[in-house]
Amino acid sequence: MEFQLLAAGLAIGLGTIGPGIGIGIGFSRAMEAIGRNPEASGTLFVPYILGLALTEAMAIYALVIGLILIFAVG
Amino acid sequence: MVGALLATALLLLATVYVRRRATLVPGRFQSLMELPIEWLAGVVRSTGGRRWAEFAGLVIAIFLFVLVANMIGLLPGVGVVGITVEGEHGGEETLVPFVRAAAADLNFTLGLAIIAFVAFVAWGIRANGLGGYLKELLIAEPAYMTPLLTPIHLISELSRLISLSMRLFGNVFAGEVLLAVILSLVPLFVPIVFLGLELIFGFVQALVFALLTMTYITLAIAEHRQHESGDEHAGEAPDHSEASPAPGTA
């Protein structure tokens, strides 16, 4: 049981590194774009939210794996 | 489940109330009801292509439903009204609340995702015909790549279903767990910040679910239209359809 908890912790911990970097890059680029062209913030919002959701899906997969490890295995 | 029923009842009540006394110059309440609908309809119109009006209703309905369900789950105090249940192995008693965040239950999000899945497959079939849809699904663009790309294509179609439901479920469930952990760590004042954060997340996730549904429907409709006519979404559609075979994008 202890190893399952360790595995779940590692899964979510390592699994959020990539999406974290990805969301950071996306957000910084969005801010850059708004800084260059403040009127574009309205049109940037929806594509930004979509990209955020697609990037974040990876972290959600890690969360699901973690939940499976804790609750469904053993 | 009670949360989802409550959300449905609230939305229906608001609809009936506003319909009854709808005026051309909206009052306060009517403006409040019209605000999200007009805003989202504008978004759908600007990104949904030529046939946006057909599926705008579905997108707005999904958005409002998920939004209200999320907000009901966040109301202070709803989590403490419930029945106590004995633990499984004779452990401690646990409180099972009557109303919890609807999307913290996988059945709710999976049901919504199935609705979205059926919607975009049905729109794809309606736009391209059954043969056209199957051809798009099963045969890759250079025909010799078919054995390699078709499984990836099928998996990416199905993973849309899983990722749509898991995204909403994971976010709301993780939000509930986060709130509980913070409440047990620092019971005073600090949870307010996280409650505000959950309000934003509830809104963003509702928006994401609705917008992804819209994007999938738009892709399903636009897949074959690109070379027929150069309408306004033709410039955007190839980007998406090139990206869609990758299994992670859904």
Q: Does residue A68 sit at the B interface (CB-CB below 8 Å)?
A: no
Half-sphere exposure of B66 (CA within 13 A, CB side): 35
What pLDDT was estimated at residue B81?
Answer: 75
**B166 contacts in A (CB within 8 Å)?**
57, 60-61, 64
Q: Are A11 and A19 in contact (CB under 8 A)?
A: no
Count of CB atoms within 10 A of residue A48's CB? 18
- The residue range of the domain holding A49 is 2-72
What is the total residue count of chain A?
Answer: 74
The partner residues of B97 in beta bridges, in order of sequence, read: B82
pTM for this model (two decimals): 0.79
Count of CB atoms within 10 A of residue B72's CB? 21
Question: pLDDT (tens digit, 9 = 90+) per residue, A26-37?
Answer: 999 999 999 999
Instruction: Note whether ipTM > 0.85 here.
Output: no
Give the whole-angstrom CA distance, residue B7 versus residue B178.
23
Count of CB atoms within 10 A of residue B39's CB? 12
Helix axes B52-74, B2-20, angle to 10 degrees: 120
What total of structural domains would you count in chain A? 1
Q: How much is the average pLDDT of B136-156? A: 80
Distance from CA of B153 to the nearest CA of A (A): 17
CB–CB of B170 and A52 under 8 A? no
Give the whole-angstrom CA distance, residue B38 versus residue B56.
11
The label of the residue with tokens 């260059």 reads A36
Question: pLDDT (tens digit, 9 = 90+) per residue, B50-93?
Answer: 788 888 889 999 999 999 988 888 887 777 777 777 766 666 77
Residue in A closest to B215 by C-alpha = A50
Residue A11 sits in a domain whose CATH number is 1.20.20.10
Q: Which two tokens stand for residue B233?
A: 């979404």
Give the whole-angstrom CA distance, residue B179 versus residue B74.
10
